[in-house]
A and B are shown apart, each in its own frame.
Chain A
Amino acid sequence: MQSKPIVLTILDIVSIIVLGVAAYLALVFAPTELVMGDVQRVFYFHVGTAWVGLLGFVLAAIAGIAYLVTKDMKWDRFEVAAVEVSTMFFFITIVLGSIWARPAWNTWWTWDPRLTTAAVTELIYIAYFMLRQGLEDPEKRARFGAVYTLLGGLSAPITFMVIRLFRTIHPVVIGNASAEAQGGFDMTADMRTAFFFALFAFTVVFIDLMWHRVRLGGLQEKVEQLKLNISM
């Protein structure tokens, strides 16, 4: 395997720093919300992880199209990396949302349109890995993955738009909330700083993890190929 690029090492360091700064802004710099108290601070990481989670699912769908057009396995590696990293981030989104909901809505979970579509999205991508495992042939696996992520990718815009299209108790950060929304708040300037920095920080961390995961996929492919060569 090629040695680790210096740019990736720099990106690792930058990721740790920006994540630390994002945590500082969320936990210390941003003012305490008067109605919900400190639990509102999970909002910064909740939205940050949701952003990169949904972004990765869309990127995986684009990589799926690229694979179907070119048949180049690098797009399959990219797709797997995007799904894996995004599934991890989206899991954090859902757990943070649930933790926030307990004091804000007086329940850990409710089958609200946003929560339901988010849970379905996460399950779609968990199933992606389970189904991929069942296919031995790399080309068949890649083709299946491409079609699956292309269809699964539709869940990302649906999850994003659902609170803008249906009656829901989930607050809307940008745009108009439904009349039933509970737990919404107006951001102060300092809150906006923490919010936008968290979006930036998670984008950097996402790129860093994606890069590592794509490299891991390349190494995995190389080892599998060598095993085949030796057994022949």
Chain B
Amino acid sequence: MEAIPDTSGYMVAGYVVAFATMGIYVLSVYLRNRNLQRDLETLKELDPEKISK
């Protein structure tokens, strides 16, 4: 019976890439959301009357 080839390094690399990509994407959504919230606060301070909606 042939031995199973050791390809675990490729497997680890694959899962690292998958989780890292998803993590970076989630972080980017979080950061964009935080920046927009800050912009919104600044705009409210600039002219609260025009932001009555």
Contact = CB atoms under 8 A, between A and B. Distances in A.
B41 to A, nearest CB: 10
A154 interface: no
What DSSP secondary structure best describes chain A's contact surface? helix
B14 A99 contact: yes
User: What bracket does the count of chain B residues touching chain A fall in?
Assistant: 20 to 34
Contacts of B17: 92, 95-96, 99
A186 B24 CA distance: 34
Given A1-B37, A216-B29, A226-B40, A23 B4 contact: no
A22 B40 CA distance: 38
Contact of A223 (B13, B36, B46): B36
Interface residues of A, number: 40
B21 A102 contact: no
Interface in B14-47: 14-15, 17-18, 21-22, 25-26, 29, 32-33, 36-37, 39-40, 43, 46-47
B47 A230 contact: yes
Contacts of A215: 33
Contacts of A34: 4
Interface in A160-203: none
B11 A229 contact: no
A209 to B, nearest CB: 7
A185 B2 CA distance: 17
A67 interface: no
B5 A36 contact: yes
Nearest to B4: A37
6 contacts: A32-B4, A37-B4, A38-B6, A209-B25, A226-B40, A230-B43
Interface of A: 1, 23, 27, 32, 34-42, 45-46, 49, 85, 88, 91-92, 95-96, 99-100, 102-103, 205, 209, 212-213, 215-216, 219-220, 222-223, 226-227, 229-230
Interface of B: 4-8, 10-11, 13-15, 17-18, 21-22, 25-26, 29, 32-33, 36-37, 39-40, 43, 46-47, 50-51
